[in-house]
Amino acid sequence: MTTPNEHTQRLHDMGQSLWIDNITRTLLDDGTIERYIDEYSVTGLTSNPSIFDKAIGTGAYDDVIAAASADASDEDIFFALAIEDLQRAADLFAPINERTDGVDGWVSLEVSPELAYDTDATVAAALDLHRRAGRDNLFIKIPGTPEGLPAITKAIAAGVPVNVTLLFDADQYRAAADAFLDGVEQRISNGEDPAVDSVASVFMSRWDTAVSGQVGDDLRNTLGISVGLDVYRAYRELQDSERWQRLSGQGARLQRLLWASTSSKDPSAPDTLYVSGLAAPLTVNTMPDVTLLAFADHGSPGEPLPADGGDVDERLAAFEAAGVDVVALAGKLQSDGAEAFVASWRELIDRIRSQRQAVS
């Protein structure tokens, strides 16, 4: 019997889920993901176009691309191969999903970011992808941008589990939570089961990258964790709110908070910075392989985040005093992130097109 890694097991025992932010057919074929489950307490998985782009570039999917119908679009080919991989991953995590009654054991697939400004098209795509995948433990990723919020509400109202992505601060988190709860309330008013699962993914490392060189050494690599404290405070406040208590009493499921973009980008910073610093029960931390392996080797979870945010107001005030407009930066990070998502998507489609030409 495999003995779980002591470092990752400690985080798991605190009540935080460790997910891997990676998927390739190679990782599925060679048993790596199964090993992560058995040895490192990994209980879920996220994916994005950049991850698939890199994997497709290795030639790992050339046989799938070569076998595609000439009538299939490049986007059709992507979703076909992505769904196949995520179905296999979902099956690996299905026992965890069943054991936790749907709280854990999830995988995620993203809708095309080209649909970002079309609510109805986004919802239609979410419904179609979830139906085609045929797995109850598969989230559809929809960005929590102002344009994406109505689609999140409609998707939840339609019963589609949603991973709300591209969130950066407490205000954006609250907006995503409201969109989720609006969808749940619609289901209740329609006499439908309100237990539709969701996570709210807040991106962390980009904060410190954005202010690198603009603040002194005393504030270096501390903004991400400070924002995380503020978000976690908002998360706990929502759990204590009358609105949530009412919905919970009617059978609704909590939208769990997920920490994303948790690999350290500064070589001088601890490589487990956004794992040790964001330990908290009933949350998720999704991380790339390199961060997972680093934490398994030498990581140690810090004290759980304080429900009231601790000294977060003083921490954020220090950045404001240093000339950082945190609210404005959150908006810029989200808009820049949305543009980057579109760019990554187009690179992925271009990659498939070029691979298709090469194998034909």
CA distance 162 to 290: 26
What radius of gyration do the chain's Cα atoms show? 20
Question: How many domains, the chain?
Answer: 1
Alpha helices in 158-288 (DSSP H): 170-189, 205-210, 223-240, 242-248, 273-276
Q: Which of 54, 141, 265, 332 is catalytic?
A: 141
- CB under 8 Å to 197, separation ≥6 — which residues? 102, 103, 106, 139, 161, 253, 255
Which tokens sit at 285?
Answer: 């931390």
Model's pTM, two decimal places? 0.96
285-309 average pLDDT score: 96
Is pLDDT above 70 for 238? yes
pLDDT of residue 3: 87
Residue 40 domain flag: yes
Residue 1 has what pLDDT? 64
* Residue ranges making up the domain that contains 36: 6-354
141 part of the active site? yes
Q: Is residue 360 situated within a structural domain? A: no
b/e 44-81 (16+ beta carbons within 10 angstroms → b): bbbbbbebbbebbeeebbeebbeebeeeeebeebbbbb
> Which residues are within 8 A (CB) of 303 and not within 5 positions of it... i.e. 6 or more apart?
279
User: Once rounded to an integer, what is the mean pLDDT over residues 217-228?
Assistant: 97
In a domain, 241, yes or no: yes
CA 342 to the chain's CA centroid:
17
% pLDDT > 90, the chain: 89
Strands 17-20 and 107-110: unpaired
220 pLDDT tier (thresholds 50, 70, 90)? very high
Name the band, by pLDDT with cuts 50, 70 and 90, for residue 197.
Answer: very high
Rounded to whole angstroms, how far apart are CA atoms 262 and 248? 30
Cα 78 to Cα 132: distance, rounded to the nearest angstrom: 13
- Model pLDDT for residues 52-73, shown as the tens digit of each residue: 998 898 888 998 899 988 899 9
Q: Looking at the predicted structure, is the pLDDT value of residue 39 above 90?
A: yes
In this structure, what CATH number is given to the domain that contains residue 137? 3.20.20.70
120-162 per-position pLDDT tens digit: 999 999 999 999 999 999 999 999 999 999 999 999 999 999 9
Name which of 237, 260, 244 is nearest 341 in CA terms.
Answer: 260
Residue 213 in domain:
yes
CA–CA dist 302, 280 (Å, integer): 9
